[in-house]
Structure 1
Amino acid sequence: MKVTLDLAKLVEDGHLTAAEAERLKGFAAQGTGQTAMNILVGFGVVAVSLGVMGMVPQPVVAVVLGALLASVGFGFILQGQKTWSILANICLLTGCLMLAAGVMFMTKGSPIALLAITAILIGGGIAAKSGLLIALAVLCLSAAIGARTSYAHATYFIGVRQPLLTVLLFSGLALAAYQASLRLAADHARLAITAARTSLLLVNLGFWIGTLWGDRLTWLSDQFDPSRYWLSVPAVVFSLVWAAALVATGLWAARANRPWVLNVVAVFGAIHFYTQWFAKLGPNPFSVMIAGLITLALAIGIWKYNQGKTIPA
């Protein structure tokens, strides 16, 4: 966990002695004079790579350049070059993203390719200790089982084609990642928590879509043909199980002092409530007013709970 402290203010307020403040300064990262150089070189490398891609807009170019950038960044990391650590992370992060995008375009987003991209992002995320790459890896895994996003003019879409599989898969992943975080060193534990949190969001999205449409389980090859299914799960089952899961997870989060989880549960609990509320009562003035009052009560409850919770969990 990273904490930002104003040492001068703490000394001024009497919370630290001058000697303690100097001791804490000694733990600060050294070589900050190299930061600007790292960032400038990193941006220059990225800009040149993007320029080459712009002149030769082919997926294979993205794959080649991405692999080169990732290799350079990974090489610096393996050599333990702390002086160029920021440059290494920029190259590795950009390279993994370019490589993943190139592979996706070349294969038109096939499930096998998406699984390969997931592996690339996980490897890059662990090497660079990048929570962004780990989160993208989890999202890429969801795409491998049919999750999609799209955009039209002033309209955004989220698609979860296999809600039940999404709930089961990412519930297991969230639990496994959380358990791993309890046994890993701090840097890797942070990555495991990122994977668990992203998985938890996907679990709730899967439940949400399930409460609206239910689910008809198909094989991946048949996911665009709703008539070819082997099991049907009605929407009411998703509604009941989601409500029970939210309550159970909320109780665990409160007892285990996990504010982030409890806030997510509160948000999706409200989404679940309003989805069912308006589906049954419709958007009339009375239902809107009552929903607003409940929202205010929920917001006050979250605010009260979050007071004094300074540790993100």
Structure 2
Amino acid sequence: MHYLADTDALVADGTLTTDQARIIRRHSRQAMVSLSINTLLCAGIIAAAFGFIFWLANALAVAITGALFLGIGVLILRSGNDLYRMFGNAAALIGGGMLAGGATIELIDKYPSGFAAPALIVAGALAALIAGYAFRRGTKTRFVTGSVLLMGGAMHLVGVYYGMSEADLNGWPVPLSHLYATILIVAAGVFIDVRAVTALAIMPFAQMLDTATYYSQAAYVFYSPESTLSILQLGLLIFASIWVMRTQPERIGRHAGILAIMAFIVANLCALVGSLWGDVVGSSYWEPTYVYGEQSWEEYQAARAAFEATTLVISEQVYAILWAIALAASAFWAAHKNRRGLFNAAMTFGGIHAYTQMFETFYDEPLAYVIGGLAAIPLAWGLWRLNDIFRDADERVAA
């Protein structure tokens, strides 16, 4: 478990010695440096591999160049020289990335759709399984074998989604495919013990209810057609992740923690959508649709009104209030349980919530600010007293 503490203050009050504080600072600094170096290395490998693919733009040239990089990387790694191991890893992965990425693009571009998707699914799965076996067997080559496992998994999922697109699937197969991708990404992240991979699983998971993003003319857009249902879905993931954190070993718990943070972030983005537009729960699935020529506009409006009368409709004002309460409760719980990631996310979205509501929903309602401000004071007092109760209970248990 990672905790944030002021080592200078701990030395001053006698909790730590000067040498202990120095050791903690050294380990912390080393972890940060390693993270920055690995991030730069991975970004360089990905950029170089795909840059070569699109620059050469020829299957044979990409295959030859990729094989050369892979061979050079293997030779460097087999030499056993730790000083140049980073170059060996980079060369091998650039070559592997070129071969995997080039093969994927070539299959999709040049071969019939009925062949490309199954080929990618099978080839990616085989590559991932072989790399996973090698990952388990060797310790010095785990950076390479783990990366190849991810490349194989990526090929496999590209095949799955390409097959979905070509078959024009709709209905239940679509969210089930997203769930399959979620499970696969989480499994890969836990297997190689890289939380950044596990965090990526939130993308297909959120898309199960069509929550996603898109880009258009310098505008990056987040949309959630079912904000309430998506929040409930993501809330289940948060509670499941917290349960895993409390009951499973720390190695598994760390991955559950990053997944909980990502789910919390996306859930708050969904709440932001709801606080701006409100929500007619289930409208994107069950609301009547207007078909030109088959019904009049008045008939469509009547059918839509009848649907809204039978489902839950949450206005943007109510959404804004509920979101504020949820953020306050989340921040307090995260602070009490020392979940810094969730606490930081809650505080960040608290600022976003205040800013957006100031200009969108309650900008011309001064009484809302009076009520909200006065309500915040006893709420803060209540949380302070509740924290004292929790702290006293923890001290009694420790005693």
Q: TM-score, normalised by structure 1?
A: 0.73
Equivalent position amino acid for 2:98 in 1: A
Alignment partner, residue 378 of structure 2: none
* Equivalent position amino acid for 1:166 in 2: S
Name the residue aligned to 1:47.
98
Aligned to 1:281: 363
SS of aligned partner of 1:161: coil
By percentage of residues, which structure has more helix?
2
- What corresponds to 2:181 in structure 1? 117
CA 1:281–1:234: 2 relative to 1, 3 Å = closer
Shift of 1:219: 7.4
Task: Report the number of matched residues.
Answer: 262
Whole-Å separation in 2 of the counterparts to 1:217 and 1:39: 49
> Aligned partners of 2:158, 2:2: CA distance in 1, in Å?
31
Q: Displacement, 1:141?
A: 1.0
1:162 aligned to 2:226?
A: yes
2:196 to 129, 132, 137: 132
Residue in structure 2 matched with residue 179 of structure 1 by the alignment: 243
Tell me which of 66, 78, 84 is aligned to 2:124: 66
Amino acid at match of 2:145: A
Higher relative contact order (CA 8 A, sep 6+): 1
SS of structure 2 residue aligned to 1:106: helix
1:90 corresponds in structure 2 to: 147
Equivalent positions of 1:149-298 (< 5 A) are 149-218=213-282, 221-222=285-286, 225=289, 227=304, 230-279=311-360, 280-281=362-363
Aligned counterpart in structure 2 of residue 37 of structure 1, from 85, 88, 94 = 88
Aligned to 1:107, which of 146, 164, 170?
A: 164
Answer whether contact 1:35 1:86 (CA < 8 A) is retained: no
CA distance in 1: counterparts of 2:316 and 2:269, whole angstroms: 14
Counterparts of 2:164 and 2:125, CA distance in 1: 17
Max Rg structure? 2
Amino acid at match of 2:312: L
- Residue 15 (1) aligns with residue 19 (2): yes
The structural deviation recorded for 1:144 is 0.9
Residues 18-46 of structure 1: CA deviation (Å, up to 9, x unaligned)? xx9xxx9xxx9xx8825543443233112
- What's the TM-score once normalised by structure 2's chain length? 0.59
Bigger shift: 55-64 or 272-281?
55-64
**Contact persistence 1:174–1:200 (CA under 8 A):** yes
More deviation, 190-199/178-187: 178-187
Structure 2 CA distance for partners of 1:233 and 1:32, relative to 1, 3 Å = farther
Query: Which is worse superposed, 186-195 or 111-120?
Result: 111-120
Structure 1 residues without counterparts, runs of 5 or longer: 4-13, 283-313
Alpha-carbon distance between aligned partners in 2 of 1:243 and 1:263, rounded to the nearest angstrom: 15
Q: CA RMSD in A?
A: 3.1
In 2: Cα distance, 1:169 partner to 1:185 partner = 25
Tell me if the contact between 2:246 and 2:253 (Cα under 8 Å) persists in the aligned partners. Answer: yes
What secondary structure sits across from 1:149 in the alignment?
A: strand
Q: SS state of the match for residue 182, structure 1?
A: helix
SS in 2 for 1:178: helix
1:131 is displaced (CA, Å) by 1.8
Letter in 2 for 1:73: A
The question of whether the paired residues in 1 share the 8 Å contact of 2:203 and 2:212 is answered with no
Instruction: For residue 169 of structure 1, report the CA deviation from its aligned partner.
Output: 1.6
Query: What is the deviation of 1:275?
Result: 1.3
Would the aligned equivalents of 1:72 and 1:91 in 2 still touch at CA under 8 Å?
no
Q: Structure 2 stretches of 5 or more lacking a match?
A: 4-17, 32-79, 110-115, 291-303, 365-399
Describe the SS at the equivalent of 1:102: helix
Contact 2:226–2:284, Cα closer than 8 Å, also in 1: no
Q: Which amino acid aligns with 2:327?
A: L
Counterpart of 2:363, as a letter, is L
